[in-house]
Chains A and B, each alone.
Chain A
Amino acid sequence: MKIVTNTLENIAGVGIYPVIGLLLFFTLFVVLIIFVMKLSKRDVEEYGRLPLSDGDEMSENKDDSLNL
C-alpha cells in the first residue's frame, strides 16, 4: 500500500516492540497490585458504597412494594 508502506519502508530491530509491550504490561501489573494492596480498608469500603449513596430515596419503597 503506497500511502503508508512506502513512506515507512523499514524499521530496525522490530523484535524490540513485543519485548517493550511485555515489559510495560508486567510493570503495569506490579504497580497495580502494589497500589491495590496499599489501599486503606476504610477508603475501599467507602468507594464500594458510592452507588448506594446517591440520594435515590425512592429505591427503598420500590424494592418493598415490588418485593424485588
Chain B
Amino acid sequence: MELQKFTYDNRLSKMFLQATFFWGIVGTLVGLTIAFELIFPHMSAGISWLSFGRLRPLHTNAVVFAFVGNGMFTGMYYSTPRLLKTPMYSELLGRIHFWGWQLIILAAAITLPLGYTVSKEYAELEWPIDIAIAIVWVIFGINLIMTMVKRRTQHIYVAIWFYIATFVTVAVLHIVNSINIPVSFLKSYPVYAGVQDALVQWWYGHNAVAFFLTTPYLGLMYYFIPKAANRPVYSYKLSIIHFWALIFLYIWAGPHHLLYSALPDWAQALGTAFSVMLIAPSWGGMINGLLTLRGAWDKVRESPVLKMFVVAVTAYGMSTFEGPLLSLKSVNAISHFTDWTIAHVHIGALGWNGMLTFGMIYWLVPRLFNTQLYSKKMANAHFWLATSGMLFFAVPLYFAAFTQSLMWKEFTADGFLKYPNFIETVVQILPMYYLRATGGTLYVTGIILLIINVLKTMKMGTFVKTEDDQAPALKLHKDTGHRFIESKPVLFTTIALVVILIGGIVEFVPMFMVKSNVPTIAAVQPYTPLELEGRDIYVREGCYLCHSQMVRPFRSEVERYGDYSKAGEAVYDHPFQFGSKRTGPDLAREGVKSGKNYKPDSWHYNHFFNPQKMVAQSIMPPYPWIINNSLNTSLTAKKIRVMQTLGVPYPEGYAEKAVDDLKKQAATIAQGLRDGGIDVSDDKEVIALIAYIQRLGTDIYKDK
C-alpha cells in the first residue's frame, strides 16, 4: 500500500504549553492569596478588587479554564494529529482558538476583580464574555471534528472520544447555563430563578467538573500514560465501557449539590442514585490507568513523569470515591457547607489535574525541544512538593470540616445549641486554615521549580517545529455496530450529544413543566428597587461565597437560623443565592425581626465598615468602599424592566417610578442610622445592601 507523507505541527502545542504554566502560577498564586486572606482578613487593605469575594472567582476560573483548559489543549493538539495520522485540519483555526481563549481569560482576570459577575460558581463571567467563549469553543470543535474526518486511521482511539465528549457537552452546558437577559454591557440576569436556577447551575457546575476537568484529562491519560510507560493501555475493552458509562451517568449527578435544599425530593434522589453509580466507570478508568503500568513499576521509581501520573490517577480514584460518598444524604448532612467540599475539589484539581499536567509537561518539553530535561532532580523535588502540598492542603480541611459541622450540630443536655455563636466554630478551625495555606505554599513552590526547569530545558534545545510521519490513506471497510459509529465522526459526535442530553432533559423537563415542583407562596413579593440594587451589590461582592441562604430542614439549623428555606421563597431570585459554603453564618433568615439572628441597621453599618468591631474574632474583611460609594441608580429602571420580562410581577409602568420609591426607602433607612448617631447620607451603597439584608427571609412572616 502506498504511504502518504505528512507533518505534525508542534507550534500550537508549544503555545498552549507556555500558557499552561503561565496561568498555572497565576491561578495558584491567587488561590494562595485568598487562603491567607481567610487568616488575615485585613490583608485586602480595604481595596475592593483584592477582597476575598472578588478574588475567589478569579482563582477558580484561572485554575479551571486557564490552567487546566490550556493544559488540555496542549495535550489535545499534540495527541490528536498523531492518533489520527494527519495534521490538524486548520492551523489558523487553532491559532484563533489559542488567542481567543487567552483573551477570554484576560477579560475574566479584569472583570471578575472589578465585581462583574453573574454569581453562578464557575460560570461567573458576564454575557459578552460568555458569547466569546461559545464562539471560540465552536472553532475548537470544528477543528477537532474536521481533523477526525480527514484522518488516515480506520479506528478512532478512545482518547479522541473523550475529547469529542468534552467538546459537545461543555458547549451544551455553557449555553444552557448562560442564558441571561442583559441589563447593560456588563450586567445581566439569568432567565431562571430560585430552585430552577440552582438546578441548572449545579447541573452545569457538576458537569463542568465532569466534562472540563475529567473527560479531557481521561483522554490525556489514555494517550500519555501508554506513551510514557511505552506499553498499551491495560484493557482497551474496559476503556470503551468506561467512556460510554461515564458520559451517560455523569450528566445526571448535578442535584447532589442541592441535597436537603428546597429542590424537590425526586430530583435530589435522582442525583444521589446516579452519583453512587458513577463510582463504577470512574474506578474502571482509574484501574485501567494504573494497571497500564503493570510490569513497569521499576520505571515509576526512576521517572518523575510516571510518578506524577501515578499520583494523578490515584487522586482521581480518591476524589471519585469521595464524590459518591458525599452524595449520600447522611454524609452530605455533615459535609455540605463545610471545608470538606474545598478539600474534595483540591484533591481533584491539585492531584488529578495538576499532577497529570505536570507529568505531561515533563514528558512533552524535552520532545518538543529535542533535548533532555534540564534537571531530573528538580522534577523529583517538584513531585514531592506537589504531593505533600496537596496533602497538607486537604487533610487539615477534612479535620476542619468534621469539627465545625459537629459543632454546628451539637446540643446541650438542656436542648440548646452548644455553640450558638457561629464565630466559636470558626475560631476552632483557624489553625487548620494556617496548615492549608502552608500546603498551598508548598504546591506553588513546586510550580516555580517546574517553570525554571522547563525554561532551562527550552533554552538547552531547539524547538522542533514540525515532525514528519507517513501512513497509508484511509480505506474504510464496511463496518457494522459500534465500529460503524467509530468510523463516522459526525455521527459519533451526535450520539455522544444525545447520550448526554437524556439526563439533562429528564431532570429539567419536569422541573420546568410541573408547577407543583415550585409551590408558590402568596406572601412572597418582588424585591423593592432599593433591595434589588442591594442584592446586586451582594452579588458583586461575592457574599454568596462565604454565606449561604439555605436553611436546611435540620433541628440544629432551624434552631440556629430560623424556619427552613422553601422553594417558593426564591421564585424572584435571578440568580439564586443559595451558596455552597458557610465560612460565615447562613443569611436566609437574616432580616426576620423576631428571628435568632436579627441585628439592627446600625449593627450592619458598623459591621460592613469594620467587622472586627462588632465580632472581635471575625475573619470577614472590611468593606469601606460600600460605605463610601454612592449608589448608581442609572440602571434601576432598566433592571425593573428586565425583571418584568423575566416574569417578576412588578406593576405595569413601575420602572418609571422605581427610582422615586428607591429614594424614599433609602431616606427612611438613612434617617434611622442618623438618629442612632451614624453620619451617613441617603445615597450610599451600604443603605441598599442593608435594605436587602433586612429583607432576607421575611416574606413568609408578613401575614403573621
User: Interface of chain A, helix or strand or loop or mixed?
Assistant: helix
The residue in chain A whose Cβ has the minimal distance to the Cβ of B192 is: A1
Is the beta-carbon distance between A11 and B513 smaller than 8 angstroms? yes
| Known A-B contacts A1-B191, A2-B647, A56-B82; A68 and B299 likewise in contact (beta carbons under 8 Å) | yes
Taking CB atoms and an 8 Å cut-off, the chain A residues in 9-68 that contact chain B are 9-11, 14, 17-18, 20-21, 24-25, 28-29, 32-33, 35-37, 39, 43-52, 54-56, 58-59, 62-63, 65-68
| Known A-B contacts A56-B367, A62-B367; A48 and B233 likewise in contact (beta carbons under 8 Å) | yes
Is the beta-carbon distance between A49 and B232 smaller than 8 angstroms? yes
| Known A-B contacts A28-B244, A63-B230; A17 and B506 likewise in contact (beta carbons under 8 Å) | yes
Is the beta-carbon distance between A67 and B302 smaller than 8 angstroms? yes
Is the beta-carbon distance between A50 and B155 smaller than 8 angstroms? yes
What residues of chain A lie closer than 8 Å to B468, measured between beta carbons?
55
Interface footprint category on B: 35 or more
Is the beta-carbon distance between B502 and A21 smaller than 8 angstroms? yes
In whole angstroms, how far apart are the Cα atoms of A39 and B518 in the complex? 49
Which of B155, B467, B506 is the one whose CB lies under 8 Å from A46?
B155
Which of A9, A58, A65, A66 has its CB near the most chain B CB atoms (within 10 A)? Answer: A66
| Known A-B contacts A1-B646, A36-B240, A50-B153; A14 and B467 likewise in contact (beta carbons under 8 Å) | no
What residues of chain B lie closer than 8 Å to A18, measured between beta carbons?
266, 270, 506
Quote the shortest CB–CB distance from A47 to chain B (angstroms): 5
What residues of chain B lie closer than 8 Å to A20, measured between beta carbons?
506
User: What per-residue 1/0 map shows which CB atoms of B626-653 lie under 8 Å from chain A?
Assistant: 0000000000000000000111000000
Is the beta-carbon distance between A48 and B503 smaller than 8 angstroms? no
Of the stretches B368-376, B415-423, B431-439, the one at the interface is B368-376
In whole angstroms, how far apart are the Cα atoms of A58 and B230 in the complex? 13
Is the beta-carbon distance between B510 and A14 smaller than 8 angstroms? yes
The residue in chain B whose Cβ has the minimal distance to the Cβ of A54 is: B82
In whole angstroms, how far apart are the Cα atoms of A51 and B220 in the complex? 11
Quote the shortest CB–CB distance from B358 to chain A (angstroms): 14
In whole angstroms, how far apart are the Cα atoms of A14 and B514 in the complex? 8
Is the beta-carbon distance between B237 and A65 smaller than 8 angstroms? no
| Known A-B contacts A1-B192, A9-B513; A32 and B647 likewise in contact (beta carbons under 8 Å) | no
B515 at the interface (CB under 8 A from A): yes
Which of B236, B303, B646 is the one whose CB lies under 8 Å from A68?
B303
The residue in chain A whose Cβ has the minimal distance to the Cβ of B486 is: A47
What residues of chain B lie closer than 8 Å to A44, measured between beta carbons?
236-237
Quote the shortest CB–CB distance from A19 to chain B (angstroms): 10
What residues of chain A lie closer than 8 Å to B515, measured between beta carbons?
5, 9-10
B470 at the interface (CB under 8 A from A): yes
Is the beta-carbon distance between A59 and B514 smaller than 8 angstroms? no
Of the stretches B21-29, B221-229, B312-320, B577-585, the one at the interface is B221-229
User: What per-residue 1/0 map shows which CB atoms of B128-158 lie under 8 Å from chain A?
Assistant: 0000000000000000000000000101011
Is the beta-carbon distance between B230 and A62 smaller than 8 angstroms? no
What residues of chain B lie closer than 8 Å to A3, measured between beta carbons?
191, 645-647
In whole angstroms, how far apart are the Cα atoms of A39 and B482 in the complex? 10
B248 at the interface (CB under 8 A from A): yes
What residues of chain A lie closer than 8 Å to B82, measured between beta carbons?
51, 54-56
B305 at the interface (CB under 8 A from A): yes
In whole angstroms, how far apart are the Cα atoms of A3 and B226 in the complex? 50
B159 at the interface (CB under 8 A from A): yes
B241 at the interface (CB under 8 A from A): yes
Is the beta-carbon distance between B514 and A47 smaller than 8 angstroms? no
User: What per-residue 1/0 map shows which CB atoms of B82-115 lie under 8 Å from chain A?
Assistant: 1101000000000000000000000000000000
A-B contact pairs, 9 of them (CB 8 A): A3-B647, A9-B513, A11-B514, A14-B509, A29-B245, A51-B159, A56-B467, A66-B303, A68-B304
B contacts, CB < 8 Å to A: 79, 82-83, 85, 153, 155, 157-159, 191-193, 196, 222-223, 226-228, 230-233, 236-237, 240-241, 244-245, 248-249, 252, 266, 270, 299, 302-306, 363, 366-367, 370, 372-373, 376, 464, 467-471, 481-482, 499, 502-503, 506, 509-510, 512-515, 518, 571, 645-647
For the A-B complex with A21-B252, A24-B502 known, give 8 more contacts whose Cβ atoms are closer than 8 Å.
A18-B506, A21-B502, A25-B249, A48-B233, A51-B83, A51-B226, A55-B82, A68-B299
> Top 4 nearest A-B pairs by Cβ distance?
A2-B647, A55-B469, A54-B82, A48-B232
